[in-house]
Structure 1
Amino acid sequence: MEAPNPRPPQHAEPGIDAFSGAVRSLMDALYAIAPLDTWLLTRVEGRDWIILHALDQGGTIAPGIVLDWHGSCCIHMACGDAPSIAPDTSGIPVYRDAPVNHQLPVGAYVGFPLHDRDGNLFGTLCGVHPEPVDPQLHDRHTALKALADTAGHLLALQRENDILDRERQATALLPGSDPVSGTLNRRGWDMALEGEEERCQRNGQPCAVVLAEVTDLEAINRDAGIGQGDRLLAKLGPILQGLLLPGDRVARIAGNRFGLLLVDTGPDALERRHAEIRTALRDHHPAIETGRALRHPGEGLQHTPHLAERDLLRQRHTR
């Protein structure tokens, strides 16, 4: 292969976390061993192929971009239908004809699967070049596989760190509680969303928001007094807290509305948990409407409550 194109020294950006710095160094090592135009660390979630980290000489691929997993080359590599290293993809139809070529031309390809601690596919570490490269790329397999294994270990360590980070955050959020419901208040909610968004950007894990609104709270306060409304909220708070899994958060984000942040929650889990939350609340008080939404990698968690609110309003109008 040709020698790598000169790249400026990579200096740590102020405030960059250790995990991102380690991934950046790993990407630099990959480029030094195999100078392909683009190296990607990705996560797979359903049909979404989420770019978590990128070293892209062309500047067209950036973290946060979501591509179609079924249209990628990596799906064939991960399934064992195509090789991990292909210096020239023209003779490999599933690589040559993959739809991803319309966005990211693949003349040469390197890819390795990344698995989580349960052995499930997490994502891929892959490199592509717009044109074929020297067949000697095959000789780099051992070194490239070792770096892919390193990426897997980094992801596992970061996942453990995320668990500890959520525990530390839970302590920090204790002062931000709502005195009526015992849940977080709006400030605590905003802090929880901000912290989880940082983790999502690093690791790409799925996340969701469920909103629950007491639709007759104003009538209760008017007819029976604010004290009766507060007693209802005080009963709903513990019910919601009892439905949380480790890392989840619940907050009273408006007078009659609760928000639940559900971590590591994909589409199927969200539907199941949303049904559980809605049933538990309505068993106690029937005049409660709920809505849910998944975090979209391209928009971020700050936008997810707005999507959940749309779902809540849509369900309210269809009842």
Structure 2
Amino acid sequence: MHTGPRPSRGGRHRGASKRPGKLSVSLDRFTNRGETAPADPVLSVLPSAAPDFRDTARSTVATFAAGGTCSSWLVNRIADEVYTPLAASVDPGVLAVDQPIPFGDSICHDVVRHRTDAVSLDLSTTRDPVLAAKADGFGIKHYAGIALRNPRGELIGSLCGFTERDLRTDMTGWLRALDTQGVSLSRSLSADLQRAAGDRRADLDAARRSTDATTGLPDRHGWGLLLAREEERAARLAEQVGVVLVDLGTVFTTRSARRAAHAVVETAGGRAQVARTGPRQLGMLVGGGSATTVSGIAADVGEVLRAGGTNAVTGWAMRTRLDGMIDAWWRAEDALLTNRSRALQIPHAR
């Protein structure tokens, strides 16, 4: 049973729904919108604080690339076992910017995951068969890099360089530069991620300017604003974002709808932004959360609502880089319809 506004699928390029009365879901329509050894690099490459991590990352790879040691320098975001290059020097041959791969497939996974210091490694002589296979697959012979960590010591990214040729350079100065810049990038990225949490609270306040009278939650227009803001944030920081949709099931009165909405907000506990997306449907955005977190929230909400006497059903999906938040919303609704059909033991036509 369709319980809320459904985005237009319309092929790979998604835009606004053309059905009368449906919410426009096109995000851009929302108004709130050489072989010689180089000299040692300067250790203090960039100041320790920068207003935007992407700018810091781009400046870093440009500065390191100018030194001429490695043919490719990358600054990467690591979140929920996903590895996404956010900035790269002029040679794009190793990995593409904004093209995520499983973290386990990266060389950083094997080299810097458990280290806090910078490392330089001749991959042509490694005895690790997994690492040797990755080096051969990427076509590189030398790696230098450092992990980026937040103040709690958690891995949030990496800075690394590759070269496809034998490297006959004293890397002592470069390792010092990597250590220094690793601290700078860690601070910058940590600050941006911390700022994102505050931005989400501000976005929710802005979304409440268009409020559903029954529940007091943002309505469908507020939901659109939340989607647009989260898309920008996810694209900039390679954040993991999930969408959870909740079919409230048997809700006959204004009071029961308000009570169910309150239960959803309480169960989310600040982990998600909640809006009313249809007469019997609520939408939840989980920014910065892993798939495990998103699926857990969906399960918790469904359990609480069913314990309260409704036949509520949930569906969830994660944003992907290729399709963005609108596709995540569509896939969450598809999952919701599938789960509803299963609950009613009615085959869901696909």
- 1:98 paired to 2:133: yes
Q: Which of 299, 302, 308 is residue 278 of structure 1 equivalent to?
A: 302
Q: C-alpha separation between the residues in 2 aligned to 1:264 and 1:84?
A: 29
- Contact map agreement 2:118 2:178 (CA 8 A) in 1: no
- 1:302 paired to 2:326: yes
What is residue 18 of structure 1 aligned with on the other side? 52
What is residue 29 of structure 1 aligned with on the other side? 63
Alignment of structure 1 residues 160-309 onto 2, 5 Å: 160-216=194-250, 220=252, 228=253, 230-246=254-270, 248-309=272-333
Distance 1:83 1:3, change over 3 A: closer
Q: C-alpha separation between the residues in 2 aligned to 1:40 and 1:250?
A: 36
Q: C-alpha separation between the residues in 2 aligned to 1:195 and 1:123?
A: 23
Structure 2 unpaired stretches of 5+: 1-34, 39-50, 344-350
Note the C-alpha offset of 1:101: 4.3
Distance 1:208 1:58, change over 3 A: closer
3-state DSSP of counterpart to 1:42:
strand
CA deviations 1:53-97 (Å, max 9, x no partner) are: 3334136633321223222211221245998212x4211244862
Q: Which of 326, 331, 340 is residue 316 of structure 1 equivalent to?
A: 340
Moved more, 291-300 or 115-124: 291-300
- Contact map agreement 1:85 1:141 (CA 8 A) in 2: yes
- Contact map agreement 1:209 1:259 (CA 8 A) in 2: yes
- 1:76 paired to 2:110: yes
- Contact map agreement 2:208 2:217 (CA 8 A) in 1: no
- 1:155 paired to 2:189: yes
- Structure of higher RCO (CA pairs closer than 8 Å, 6+ residues apart): 2
- Contact map agreement 1:30 1:147 (CA 8 A) in 2: no
What is residue 173 of structure 2 aligned with on the other side? 139
Note the C-alpha offset of 1:30: 1.9
TM-score (norm 2): 0.75
Distance 1:36 1:242, change over 3 A: same
> Which has more helix, going by share of residues?
1
The alignment yields a C-alpha RMSD, in angstroms, of: 2.7
CA deviations 1:163-182 (Å, max 9, x no partner) are: 23223323322212111221
Note the C-alpha offset of 1:250: 0.8
Aligned length: 295
* Letter paired with 2:245: L
Distance 1:47 1:101, change over 3 A: farther
Note the C-alpha offset of 1:34: 4.7
Note the C-alpha offset of 1:247: 6.3
Distance 1:289 1:62, change over 3 A: same
Distance 1:91 1:60, change over 3 A: closer
3-state DSSP of counterpart to 2:234:
helix
Q: C-alpha separation between the residues in 2 aligned to 1:282 and 1:185?
A: 23
* Letter paired with 1:161: R
Q: C-alpha separation between the residues in 2 aligned to 1:89 and 1:292?
A: 41
Note the C-alpha offset of 1:153: 0.9
- Contact map agreement 1:30 1:144 (CA 8 A) in 2: no
* Letter paired with 1:28: A
Note the C-alpha offset of 1:258: 0.9
* Letter paired with 1:241: V
